[in-house]
A and B are shown apart, each in its own frame.
Chain A
Amino acid sequence: MDSRLIQDLKKLLGTDAVLHQPEDLMLYEYDGSVDIARPNCVVFPRTKQHVAGLVEIANRHKIPIVGRGAGTGLSGGALARHGGILAIFSKMNRILEVDVEDQRAVVQPGVVNADLSAAVAHTGLHFAPDPSSQRACTIGGNVSENSGGPHTLAYGVTTNHVLALEMVLPTGELIRIGNSGLDSPGYDLPGLFVGSEGTLGLLTEITVKLTRLPESVKTLLAIFDTLDDTTETVVDITARGITPAACEMLDGYTLRAVEAYVHAGFPLDSAAVLLIDVDGVREGVESQAEEVAAICKAHHAREVRVAKDSRERDLLWKGRKNAFGAVGRLSTTYYVQDGVIPRTKLPATLRRITEIGEKYGFPIGNIFHAGDGNLHPLILFDARDEKQLKRVIAASDEIIQFCIDMGGSITGEHGVGMEKDRLMPLLFSESDLDLMRSVRDAFNPDALLNPEKIFPNKKGCGEIHVRPMPIAGAPAA
């Protein structure tokens, strides 16, 4: 006999759209992070009325409700930290409207990021935010986390591409904020809601900007014999006012794992490479590529290769975008950090990360968005050993502290979620956090929606839980 809650959910959504058996729930207790939390039930709404109905049921039963797209998140944002209903938006995956001339699209939150770009590719447009998980992750998830990606260096992150949102508030109201037209009068509510990590409302429709694909793209692979030369190159490119479309760094350690996996021709004996895209009108791309290559050579690049054609480009980028998965070949588990630093501090920070790895005895791979100073050190460890986990967290905390000391931040694109809430006081005072909490409470007064995310519990800090089994392999940002 189903519980009253399950009965209500099945009545709203149909039997097929409600999961509540332990073996089913296990599939939804994790995401791309190392956290774990099992929901009481998993549901698949298909319409905005379903979403409103779910909120009503959650209110009636006084249990939490948490939205989730593809579950590729890297901070536990879409985990049911306190159980309750996990609402998966994968069935709300229709592109509702594409306005080619005005370069806008209206989508349901479950539309997969890459699917939108693919659907409009024939018009010469694309959705610019391109997290590495873009073949799986959803636009609803991107909006909630304010996702980035390699090409956000030149094109901006998700918030720069969102015009309007429709959502169900925890009170059950269906509201619209923003407008297709620019500059709707009033507060920038979309600016507040994008990146609020699912704590303010459940998205039902998203209006995004579409961006024209560049006329020309050149992909450069610069190969270096030392990490310092690589990072100094990034500093120099930035300081000279060159903004490539993307500027990614892969160190030798991750490079070897990637090459074994994709065979893109990455050099196996290098200390690091930079994968750089320059794009725009043909004439500009030529000269910019030459300029970038010259800077790489001035910093002792062993070789600067330019991808010959789109096949070669795609292969290099496939290597980059599947890198986290490839690292899974090296270790059962990894812990990925997402700290940000001013670009000028890149050389010192990479050196510090190496020292921290040596100090704690963990291999650390670095594959990250060098152009905007967004680090992704991957600390490889064995999650089955609890002592290792404690040391991994300690090592990671040292890296984060260093980022903050450099004037940086604790997360550039992965979100705070349930992973970094305890680190928030390193950046924000208690009164800063209280103001943010009051904003959350105004929209989400009973903590019904995605409870205990972003903001640390006032009582003490939460513990990071780790799943017992290997987790590497999922595509990730």
Chain B
Amino acid sequence: MSIASKTVAARLPDIVGPKHVTTDPAQVSAYAVDGRVPAAAVRPGSSEEVVEVVKYAAAEKLALIASGARTKLGIGSPPLRYDIALDLTRMDRVIAYDPGDLTLCVEAGIPLKKLSSTLAEHRQFLPLLVPYFDRATAGGTIASGVDSPLRQFFGTARDYVLGMEFVFGDGVHSKSGGRVVKNVTGYDLHKLMIGALGTLGVITRVNFKTFPSPVSTHGLLATFDSVEQAIGMRHSIAQSPLTPLTLEILSPRIAELFLSSATTRCETAIPSSAILSARHWTVAAAYAGRPEVLARYESELRRIAAECGAASVSVLDDNTRPAVWGRLRESLPILLDSSPATTIVKIGVLPNRMKEVLNTAVRAADAKQLPWAALARGLGVIYFALLPRERGDDSLREVATATNQIIAAVAAMEANATIPWCPPEWKSSVKLWGMERADIAQMKKVKKIFDPHGIFSPGRFAGGI
């Protein structure tokens, strides 16, 4: 153990018990963030222990990064400092679940998979169809702010997180919101914690609104020759009375990756290679309800697809749908696996300008002969992945040029672009957070209140926060 590690770890065994602290280089390296390895990793078993660890870190000015299954620590800027990894996976209990009220309180470290089987016993679910689903924890999902295809109908976490408990500042345990579905008591501080990458504090508990599982959910895939036709179908659906649960547009390469991706990440094999085409754009819509509702959706979607010039239309039922939707859920890891230097630009854009933004991104990628793939959520979020063939300086130069071009061009289209994922060693050369936000000063005010000593994930967030 190095002197530095000894110093950092000094008090930790007293707080959580020696069994739950490690400074062994082989073990702590598993907690590395962008190559930076902490001196110690600590696994608290309760909110009280989190409070003590944070108090200690604040007193010693040690930087903390909280994590769950560590699947999404690659998001964000490299940490400026990182002394202690705060592993919350021991805090994995359901604290309260009232199926009759459709409300739930869980500890942050609970794996989503475990949680979803608990909910499934009562035919309920959370609309968190998020990447690394088999490992991801509730807390990590919320803190990283990753989105779910189900946001089309259910909104994002901010729409169904009812309240939270968290530890901030000098180690003060706090809460906001509550456990009931409607509540305006006090400031909604928990909304600030969503997607904050742990820069405001450590989430210890999350209260969710749960949702009844539909009787039956079907999926429709329509393939198109052009992106314009696919986006046209999206627009027609938006103007129809239909309210699908998910509505995504996939570029040809995403379809190709789905067809070739191993089933290890996803539930089952694609039922037939005919439903997806590596030469076409695909619109994927899921919808739920009783048989008469499913029939209505199918006929209406088929009609819209035909009007938009679909090359093929396939309908998947409860048994066949998970193969495609499992891959949709796992798009991010599938993309990351598909290139040694996958760089993903995430663009929030008005639906009306999706076509313009996509075309701009495609032009920027093509100009540098970079392979690319795109997944667009119908509400107006585009994941545009650049997939260089190798991870050298030449690729970096091309990717930096292309992403800079995309970021600048889409800013003029009222869109926000960021780069949530790229090789860590490239992070200093690309604009990870896109254009600077006008309200950065307000964000800094918030950061200072929650983290006066700068110990929570320093430097990982937008604006150098």
A235 to B102, CA, bound (A): 11
B348 within 8 A of A: yes
Of A187-195, A250-258, A261-269, A327-335, the segment with at least 4 beta carbons within 8 Å of chain B is: A187-195
With both chains docked as a complex, state the minimum distance between the C-beta of B174 and any C-beta of chain A, in angstroms.
5
- A99:B350 contact, CB within 8 angstroms: yes
- A283:B185 contact, CB within 8 angstroms: no
Of B14-22, B33-41, B236-244, B275-283, the segment with at least 4 beta carbons within 8 Å of chain A is: B236-244
Contact partners of B188 in chain A: CB under 8 A: 146, 159, 191-192, 194-195
- A431:B439 contact, CB within 8 angstroms: no
With both chains docked as a complex, state the minimum distance between the C-beta of A48 and any C-beta of chain B, in angstroms.
15
Q: A103-B238, A192-B446, A409-B178 are in contact. Are A181 and B415 (CB under 8 A)?
A: yes
CB-CB contacts below 8 Å: B419-465 with A: 433-434, 437-440, 442-443, 445-446, 448-450, 461-463
A412 to B191, CA, bound (A): 17
- B186:A424 contact, CB within 8 angstroms: yes
Scan B148-166; emit 1 where CB is below 8 A from any A CB, else 0.
0000000100110000000
A191 to B213, CA, bound (A): 27
- A409:B185 contact, CB within 8 angstroms: yes
A184 to B461, CA, bound (A): 13
- B196:A372 contact, CB within 8 angstroms: no
The listed residue (B158, B180, B437, B443) touching A341 by CB distance below 8 A is B180
Q: A184-B416, A243-B212 are in contact. Are A344 and B101 (CB under 8 A)?
A: yes
Q: B188, B195, B289 — which one has the most chain A CB atoms within 10 A of its CB?
A: B188
Contact partners of B306 in chain A: CB under 8 A: none
A113 within 8 A of B: no
With both chains docked as a complex, state the minimum distance between the C-beta of A209 and any C-beta of chain B, in angstroms.
10
A117 within 8 A of B: no
- A181:B295 contact, CB within 8 angstroms: no
- A145:B180 contact, CB within 8 angstroms: no
A156 to B160, CA, bound (A): 10
Contact partners of B212 in chain A: CB under 8 A: 240-243
A385 within 8 A of B: no
- B439:A175 contact, CB within 8 angstroms: yes
A400 to B462, CA, bound (A): 41
Contact partners of B381 in chain A: CB under 8 A: 182-183
A284 within 8 A of B: yes
B interface residues, Cβ below 8 angstroms from A: 98-103, 123-124, 145, 147, 155, 158-159, 168-169, 172-176, 178-189, 191-192, 194-196, 200, 211-213, 235, 238-239, 241-243, 289-290, 292-293, 295-297, 346-352, 379-381, 414-416, 418, 433-434, 437-440, 442-443, 445-446, 448-450, 461-463
A313 within 8 A of B: no
- A182:B155 contact, CB within 8 angstroms: no
- B98:A372 contact, CB within 8 angstroms: no
Q: A102-B350, A187-B446, A342-B180 are in contact. Are A239 and B172 (CB under 8 A)?
A: no
A138 within 8 A of B: no
With both chains docked as a complex, state the minimum distance between the C-beta of B447 and any C-beta of chain A, in angstroms.
8
A238 to B188, CA, bound (A): 25
With both chains docked as a complex, state the minimum distance between the C-beta of A295 and any C-beta of chain B, in angstroms.
14
Q: A157, A187, A280, A412 — which one has the most chain B CB atoms within 10 A of its CB?
A: A187
Contact partners of B290 in chain A: CB under 8 A: 283-284, 287
- B182:A412 contact, CB within 8 angstroms: yes
A454 within 8 A of B: yes
With both chains docked as a complex, state the minimum distance between the C-beta of A454 and any C-beta of chain B, in angstroms.
7
- A187:B187 contact, CB within 8 angstroms: no
Total of A-B residue pairs, C-beta within 8 Å: 248
Contact partners of B418 in chain A: CB under 8 A: 185
Contact partners of B123 in chain A: CB under 8 A: 241
Q: A188-B194, A342-B180, A373-B181 are in contact. Are A439 and B238 (CB under 8 A)?
A: no
With both chains docked as a complex, state the minimum distance between the C-beta of A354 and any C-beta of chain B, in angstroms.
21
Q: B173, B184, B347, B463 — which one has the most chain A CB atoms within 10 A of its CB?
A: B184
Q: B186, B380, B462 — which one has the most chain A CB atoms within 10 A of its CB?
A: B186
Contact partners of B145 in chain A: CB under 8 A: 183
- B101:A343 contact, CB within 8 angstroms: yes
- B437:A185 contact, CB within 8 angstroms: yes
Q: A99, A104, A188, A439 — which one has the most chain B CB atoms within 10 A of its CB?
A: A188
5 A-B pairs with C-beta separation under 8 A: A181-B415, A185-B416, A185-B437, A241-B211, A432-B176
User: Which residue on B lies nearest to A374, using beta carbons?
Assistant: B182
A431 to B194, CA, bound (A): 21
A321 within 8 A of B: no
With both chains docked as a complex, state the minimum distance between the C-beta of A424 and any C-beta of chain B, in angstroms.
7
Q: A145-B184, A369-B182 are in contact. Are A191 and B416 (CB under 8 A)?
A: no
User: Which residue on A lies nearest to B419, using beta carbons?
Assistant: A185
A135 to B196, CA, bound (A): 38
